Structure 1
Amino acid sequence: MNGNHRRVARRAFGNITIRRRPDGTIRSYRAGYNAPTDGRRVVRDFPTRAKADEWLEREAALDAAHRAGITRWTHPSQRERADRNADVTFHQWAGDWYRSRGRCDRHGNPLAPATLRVKDLAFQRLDRHFGRMRMKDITVRDVNRFLDRGLGSATADRNAYILLHRIMREAANPSDGTDPVIQRDPCVRATPDKPEPAPPIPPATPEQLEAIRNAMPDKTRIAIDVAVAFALRAGEICALQVADFDLDNMTLHLRHSARRGEGDVGPYLLGGMKTRSSMDDMPIPHALKPRLERHIRTWCDPTPDAMLLKAEHARVMPPSTLRTQFARARLAAGRPDLHLHTLRATAISEAVHQGAEPKETQRFGRHADNATSLRHYQRARGEDKRRELSDRSYMALLGGPRNEHDITLAIEDRRKRIRELQEEINRLERLRGRLSGDAPGSGPDGRASAPDPGRTAGPHRGRRAACAGDASRP
């Protein structure tokens, strides 16, 4: 032991060491003992011998209770944190957690400004109600009373409760390994259901889409084409740049969405997409290429970062401007019920009509659900089927025959589809023949049975009406 320390006579429990400064004056009285759980040294410094003795007496009682199996010993640091947490309010603890971790997604990425504005509002409502209460005093009854009172809308109630549940779950079982602030999560009631969606809007017909397209301003008419061809959201349309269109390889690179800055205020900028699955490389329908080239030549700036839709007073056109133009144009089609987002639903529904399987439809719409499995599924299937669906959907909605070349392509496409249907019919006829004991797929003269026109035409007659409800999907 060096000259600045002198060990005091050993006590029945623990010991005290006097710590001195270089000039010989006493710096502190260091009390210490061996922990009953792992034998590690536990020490604390005190200004007087009396305080050091008092602390050791309290620790001796806790040590004896642990050895007798009455209570579980915990380190003094852990007990001190628990004492501090005992008086912490919702405003203090939840506010610190929300600022550091609550404003990001589960991957740690900052939320989009519009999403963050909604979440900030939910936290402000929680803070007004629970802010002055101590975390440990918030009970199940308090939470239920908050839910029963409501915030004025089912959506606001649901958003606030989801956030409160997450805060309380984190306080009861911190994911960073720190000590719990409360013993249990008081949010025991089930999360309120999502509000009932509005009745589905029927998809737009090809004739209505053509009328809307013709009624749009010349410089933004192409927005209807890209909305239908790629099932885009309004913010994604406004964020398209000329450089995103690789017309040599017939591929659109979706990388941005129009978003405001911090707090969801100010001019629109090129921001991130809604979800990770929203970023994609999409095949450009061949019938769309000449329209894109004509629009780019006529309306776009000859710069590398030129926008597809040129705004009057900003770099990025606000989605509200495009929606206003669409709201006027939809009247020309006699469809005042349509929204710009309905074109996305119309395109996805048409992909289903053209034969897309569920996972293909999910990829075409770039929905986040099952994105990983969907990506593997599409990689196995290849891009041929996806490009064919894109071409068919756009041709059916806006890329119909306009000249002799288009008519020739349309005829070839229909013939190909007839051959595919004939092959499917022959396969089914052979299967029916095997089941009935007849020669597989043969007629009375030994040749392949001809399809019954009445049997093949029926299933397609009402496909649009049957799938009208698909227009409500996001």
Structure 2
Amino acid sequence: MHTKFGSVVARADRGTFRAKYTYRGEIITKTFKDRLSAEAWLSGERSRVEASEAGIQQWTSPTERKRQEEAVKRRRTLFCDYVIKEFAPTWLEYAADGSKLAAGSQRKHREYLNHLSHAFFWKYPLSGITQEDISRWLADLENFGGATPRKKTFQLLKAVYAKAVAEGAVPKSPVTMKAPAVPKSRQAQIPPATADELQTIYAAMPTTTRIAVWLGSILDLRIGEVVSLQVQDWNPKTQTLRVCHSADENGGLKATKTATSNTTQPVPPQLGKLLEEACNGKQPTDFIVTCADGTHITPNRLRDHFNEAKCKAGRPDLHFHTLRATSITAAVAAGASLKDTMTWGRHADAQTSIERYQRASGTERMREIATGIESTLMPHEPTVEELEAEIAETEKRLASLKSQLAAIIHQNR
């Protein structure tokens, strides 16, 4: 005959029934909506206690049992199910800072997710994938379609397991190795444009688009941001330019590439005068850079103008995007720190700024320093060639100054 085990107490104020018993100094309770369910639970708990006392089965608390059940359930969760149900819905639409991803970024995310879905461990248990599996998969990725997709897909896998570890779905991540290296792109190796080259390109472009050269090389703007600038973005009182839009695939307005790209840039005096001229006579919503007839220009059309002019400067290798590297290089030469570069470059990824800074302050800067040290410490008799080159450069500079002076005198008459 069983002795009394626990109790069921009606809680009239809440309309519930609380089952309660004490075992090994631990008070165990659970609340139910009806007495019958409470008594049934209490009966089951008594059987567990009796089995424990008889040495048949070790007793664990309901809380611990639930934890063990969830652990078993997690072990049964397939990697593909966790990715699709728990990770992908947010990752496909939102950035790390919670902002909505642009259409192009969403498309890239879907591409990387599709690549990951072809991994041989796609339908393995989430907790069953090992470091060896990841290493084998990485070896297979050598035949993958491009270095950047390979690295991005690896980073996606790493992010999946970071979330899984944070949520307790797995005890630790098997993704412990470094991401596959991405060789520097050919575009990243293109030398920045010089001041003379920029001036030649500016002069060779149509009057309604030529200011784009300085917007890119001085203010570090992307081509999509340049064609999206409106008159209302220019503030002549504060001499600042608001950057808050980029161009979508059809040439319309969309959000900037990243949240950090959305900013207000200070405009230096000479560029300020050009902006004032470009905005003169226009309505607030009119665009600053336009086609010859005043209509909205697309990035591709502006790129055509730039590409034609760059050849006249003897720089067919330049891309409009190279103007951003030109801006960073000039900033570093002017004394910008790495922190300054990160702010000016408006890069969402700090590594991008670091690479740009290192490039701008790298070999050529070291060469300048070495030459400066040499001229200070080592006696040097200039050669005929050096003197002729310096004279030619001085005469060229003098001619430029005379031309500028003549233009100013003519304007003031």
TM-score (normalised: structure 1) = 0.61
Q: How does 1:32-431 map to 2 (within 5 A)?
A: 33=21, 39-42=27-30, 57-58=47-48, 74-103=63-92, 104-129=94-119, 130-150=121-141, 151-174=144-167, 180-198=168-186, 200-259=189-248, 268-276=252-260, 278-297=261-280, 302-310=282-290, 317-367=297-347, 403-404=404-405
Inter-partner Cα distance in structure 1 for 2:401 and 2:263: 26
**AA at the equivalent of 1:182:** V
Structure 2 unaligned spans of 5+: 11-16, 352-396
Deviation at 1:166, TM superposition (A): 1.6
Contact conserved, 1:158 with 1:192, CA < 8 A, in 2?
yes
> Which range is displaced more, 49-58 or 197-206?
49-58
Inter-partner Cα distance in structure 1 for 2:40 and 2:54: 21
**AA at the equivalent of 2:265:** M
Inter-partner Cα distance in structure 1 for 2:275 and 2:169: 59
Inter-partner Cα distance in structure 2 for 1:33 and 1:267: 71
Structure 1 unaligned spans of 5+: 1-8, 19-28, 175-179, 261-265, 372-395, 409-474
Inter-partner Cα distance in structure 2 for 1:161 and 1:55: 48
Which whole-Å deviations, capped at 9, do the CAs of 1:18-42 have from their partners, x for residues lacking one? 9xxxxxxxxxx99865586962414
Deviation at 1:230, TM superposition (A): 0.9
Contact conserved, 2:247 with 2:299, CA < 8 A, in 1?
yes
3-state secondary structure, aligned to 2:316: coil
3-state secondary structure, aligned to 1:231: coil
Deviation at 1:339, TM superposition (A): 0.6
Q: How does 1:463-474 map to 2 (within 5 A)?
A: none
Inter-partner Cα distance in structure 1 for 2:205 and 2:49: 80
Structure with the greater relative contact order (CA < 8 A, sep ≥ 6): 1 or 2?
A: 1
Identity %: 29
Deviation at 1:136, TM superposition (A): 2.5
Deviation at 1:170, TM superposition (A): 1.9
Deviation at 1:14, TM superposition (A): 5.4
Aligned-residue CA RMSD (Å):
4.3
Contact conserved, 1:138 with 1:186, CA < 8 A, in 2?
yes
Distance 1:72 1:366, change over 3 A: same
Give the count of matched residue pairs. Answer: 350
Distance 1:225 1:401, change over 3 A: farther
Deviation at 1:254, TM superposition (A): 2.3
Inter-partner Cα distance in structure 1 for 2:84 and 2:25: 35
> Which range is displaced more, 87-96 or 77-86?
77-86
Contact conserved, 2:8 with 2:38, CA < 8 A, in 1?
no
TM-score (normalised: structure 2) = 0.69
Deviation at 1:342, TM superposition (A): 1.2
Deviation at 1:404, TM superposition (A): 3.6
Inter-partner Cα distance in structure 1 for 2:131 and 2:294: 50
Inter-partner Cα distance in structure 2 for 1:201 and 1:40: 71
Contact conserved, 1:255 with 1:273, CA < 8 A, in 2?
no
Deviation at 1:271, TM superposition (A): 0.6
Contact conserved, 2:206 with 2:292, CA < 8 A, in 1?
no
**AA at the equivalent of 1:108:** G
Inter-partner Cα distance in structure 1 for 2:29 and 2:217: 71
Distance 1:330 1:72, change over 3 A: farther
